């Protein structure tokens, strides 16, 4: 062993004036001889570091000077010269694989590379996900006229070429993207379209923002139950109350009321049954009117909805299943009581 040999000869390291870079290269050479690293790794240490290459040359020069000054040191110097010569020879050999093997990097370093790539591509922590039109949602979706949909369509398009490198790189890169950024949807229909067709998004997304509007709001919001969200931001507007629940439709047949209210909006029951979300926020679009009563009304509705959801969906996730079991138990007891009363 070369390093042990140098240690065993008293004062040899000091007499040869072996620098730290040279010592590191001799240790790497010993690792190569022991099979810990391959020839390519040792060669890269020489080719990619001018300091390492220069330190090896200086070690050769110092050994030659020491042989001239003290011939009795020739035996030790020849051992060092032989090792350094083989190191330089390996470094001068061209690499057979000119492509850097990215997947050999540890997972932490690969995710750091993904972060650097995203920082160069994305300028905001909120990223809008949209489609190409009605065919990308459902036939019943009429949300293409919405202002935020139009603004999102006119915005810059992100082309993540790195996500197309391979299947593993795609999964790691998109996982990092979904977990890091807030995914913004111009309508509930578009949110349901993306969540339903992208299992990786459903599994890894942590922050979601959507405009509560659309005829498919109930089915889209129900998909949020399958996700492990950390934050949820809901944007409301005057279009939010257009679609109402089936129960409200039935009630209006007999009571004739036509006023819009958030508690009648399609998807309210699915929203209130969400659990385990740490942060919830409700915003509203700016109302272009001089009627302060309309502005105050929508502002109060946003505050009321935010308070309601903070009380409900920030509860532990297992509480939802417990409430469901309790409701099923109560319905079973009611049905058994009805059967017994009939008998």
Cβ pair 201, 183 in contact under 8 A: yes
Residue 126, helix vs strand vs coil: strand
Q: Over range 288-300, report the average pLDDT.
A: 67
> Whole-number mean pLDDT of the chain?
79
The pTM of this model reads 0.63
Pick the range with the lowest mean pLDDT from 39-48, 107-116, 145-154: 145-154
Question: Residue 302's pLDDT is what?
Answer: 87
What is the pLDDT at residue 234?
93
Residue pair 320/273 in contact (Cβ under 8 Å)? The answer is yes
Cα–chain center distance at 246: 37
Binned at pLDDT 50, 70 and 90, residue 21 comes out as: confident
Residue-wise burial string across 262-276, b where 16 or more C-beta atoms lie within 10 A, e elsewhere? bebbbbbebbebbbb
pLDDT score for 246: 86
**What pLDDT, on a 0 to 100 scale, did the predictor assign at position 143?**
67
What percent of the chain has a predicted confidence (pLDDT) above 90?
18
328 confidence band (pLDDT: 50, 70, 90): low
Helix (H) or strand (E) holding 339: helix 317-342
pLDDT of residue 137: 47
In this prediction, residue 97 carries a pLDDT of 60
Q: Is 284 a residue whose pLDDT tops 60?
A: yes
Average the pLDDT over 196-217 and give the result: 91
pLDDT at residue 335 tops 60? no
């Amino acid at each position: 062993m070369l390093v042990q040999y140098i240690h065993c000869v008293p004062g040899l390291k000091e007499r040869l004036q072996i620098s730290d870079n040279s010592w590191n290269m001799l240790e790497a050479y010993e690792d190569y001889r022991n099979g810990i690293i391959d020839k390519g790794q040792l060669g890269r240490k020489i080719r990619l570091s001018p300091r390492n290459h220069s330190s090896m040359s200086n070690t050769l020069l110092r050994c030659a000077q020491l042989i001239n000054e003290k011939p009795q040191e020739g035996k030790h110097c020849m051992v060092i010269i032989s090792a350094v010569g083989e190191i330089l020879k390996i470094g001068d050999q061209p690499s057979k694989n000119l492509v850097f093997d990215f997947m050999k990097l540890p997972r932490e370093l690969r995710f750091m590379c993904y972060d650097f790539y995203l920082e160069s591509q994305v300028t905001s922590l909120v990223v809008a996900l949209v489609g190409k039109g009605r065919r990308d949602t459902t036939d019943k979706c009429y949300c293409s006229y919405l202002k935020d949909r139009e603004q999102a369509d006119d915005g810059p398009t992100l082309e993540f070429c790195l996500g197309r490198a391979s299947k593993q790189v795609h999964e790691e890169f998109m996982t990092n993207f979904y977990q890091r950024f807030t995914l913004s949807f111009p309508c509930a229909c578009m949110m349901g379209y993306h969540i339903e067709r992208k299992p990786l998004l459903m599994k890894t997304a942590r922050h979601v923002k959507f405009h509560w509007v659309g005829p498919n709001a109930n089915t889209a919001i129900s998909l949020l139950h399958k996700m492990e969200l950390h934050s949820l931001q809901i944007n409301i507007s005057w279009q939010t109350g257009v679609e109402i629940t089936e129960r409200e439709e039935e009630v209006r047949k007999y009571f004739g009321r036509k006023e819009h209210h958030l508690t009648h909006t399609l998807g309210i029951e699915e929203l209130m049954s969400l659990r385990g979300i740490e942060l919830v926020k409700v915003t509203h679009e700016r109302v272009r009117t001089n009627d302060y009563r309309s502005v105050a009304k929508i502002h109060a509705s946003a505050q009321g909805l935010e308070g309601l959801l903070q009380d409900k969906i920030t509860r532990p996730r297992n509480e939802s299943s417990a409430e469901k079991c309790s409701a099923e138990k109560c319905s079973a007891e009611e049905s058994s009581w009805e059967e017994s009363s009939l008998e």
